[in-house]
Chain A
Amino acid sequence: MSCERARHLFDAYWDDELTQAEREWLEAHFASCTPCHGAYEALARTLELVGGLPRFEVTSGFAERTLARARRAGAEPDRVSARAPRWIPVTAAAAAALLAVLGATVLQWGGMPRPGGRSPGSVVSETIRQPVLVGPAPVARSADAARGTSSTAGMGDGAVAVVPDSIFDHSEDVEFILDPFTLRKGRAHTRISSPQDAPRGQQATITF
């Protein structure tokens, strides 16, 4: 038991971290226990060899060469910080949402009349409602708006941008919706809604 305790103290004895009482106890143990004393001497010789290894020489001009290399590295973009920052998805989603709103606004305010549509002169007298961003968007919902039905009744929770429009006939339009809610990695693709969902117009959701 005392040998086990002694060997447990070897490292601290070498590192000079023992209390006075511990040191005195260990030295007294060494005096009476040749194996423990020999084991400690072997450890001490080993660590003397390790600690006595020569220091490597530094070649001349090391600091200047290092500075030159650091300058070159400093001029390059920092690969660590450039690696997929976490704010990118948030920014991308915000940008996509902004695009969706702007796109809807442009559709409403800047849409060109179609042949067979309503008279352009009526644009001035019409009160045009602003698009309302409601939530995640099933594809076919704005078909009602395209038909001129401004009510949102029965649309459920999923409509994106309701653009009631009584000015132009968009029955032949294809509406592109940038859908930020399904933003995820992968190839961009275009999905065209089924004819039942959009009997008079077509709607495409672009998901990234």
Chain B
Amino acid sequence: MTPDRESVPLAVVRLSDEDLMGKVAEEDERAFTELVRRFQGRVINLVSRILNDRDVSEDLAQEVFVRVYVHRRNYRRGSKFSTWLFTIAANLAKNEIRRRVRRRNWFSLDALQEVVGDSAIQLADPKEGQDVSLQRTQLQEAVGRAIAVVPEKYRIALVLRDIEGFAYEEIGQMLGIPGGTVRSRINRARGILKRKLQPLSRKEGL
């Protein structure tokens, strides 16, 4: 297999995602590596934002691609590869959330709300001369925690739409729900986030 991108043949790099996946189904490991390189950033970002946990997101993202590889012959040619890939990613992220809930090794809703509330207070009263980049980092962390408070089914739809930028129809295919339900979930998620972040954005003058 090719360890660096320079050695990947141009023919592979120029192939569409779907054609690459077709080659993966024919045991072409270079095609698989190329697909991983194309989507690794988006998959890691998706699971990180859904879980608000960067530490485990790389491992989970790897698992997403491993599932793609193991089930390579189940890929239906003609269907959009990214839809299939993010369906797997969303399902694994959902499973991870539920696994953590079962193990009670996760923030409780109340604890998270407290954390978000504390962040809002802290950000609302920045110390004189506090580093602007530090404030921005804190703000982003608070946003990440606020997303993590949104109930799972709304959160996944929100991240797919407002962070990853997928179309409603595609999200519906990924989650196996009608387009109207996707809109409804995203509407609910946005409303929850708005209420959570309103104090932050008001004080920050954003």
Interface residues of A, Cβ cutoff 8 Å to B: 11, 42-43, 45-51, 53-56, 58-59, 62-67, 69-71, 73-74, 78, 80
Q: How far is the CA of A47 from the CA of B162 in the complex (A)?
A: 7
Contact B201 A49 (CB under 8 A): yes
Q: How far is the CA of A54 from the CA of B133 in the complex (A)?
A: 13
Q: Knowing A11-B186, A55-B45, A69-B62 touch, does A42 contact B1 (C-beta < 8 A)?
A: no
Interface of B is mostly: helix
Check if A67 sits within 8 Å of B29, measured CB to CB. Answer: yes
Q: Which residues does chain A contribute within 8 Å of B49, judged by CB atoms?
A: 53
Given that A50-B147, A50-B163, A56-B57 are contacting pairs, would A64 and B3 also be in contact in the complex, using a CB cutoff of 8 Å?
A: yes
The answer to whether B44 touches A67, judged by C-beta atoms less than 8 angstroms apart, is no
B33 CB within 8 Å of chain A:
yes
- A/B pair count, beta carbons within 8 Å: 97
Residues of A with C-beta under 8 A to B190? 11, 43, 46-47
Say if the beta carbon of B37 comes within 8 Å of chain A: yes
Known: A49-B139, A70-B66, A78-B70. A63 touches B197 (CB 8 A): no
Decide yes or no whether B108 CB sits under 8 A from chain A.
no
Write the B39-77 contact mask toward A (1 if CB under 8 angstroms, else 0).
011001100110000100110011001100111000000
- Tell me if B115 counts as interface (CB < 8 A to partner A): no
- Set of chain A residues within 8 Å of B200, measured between Cβ atoms: 49
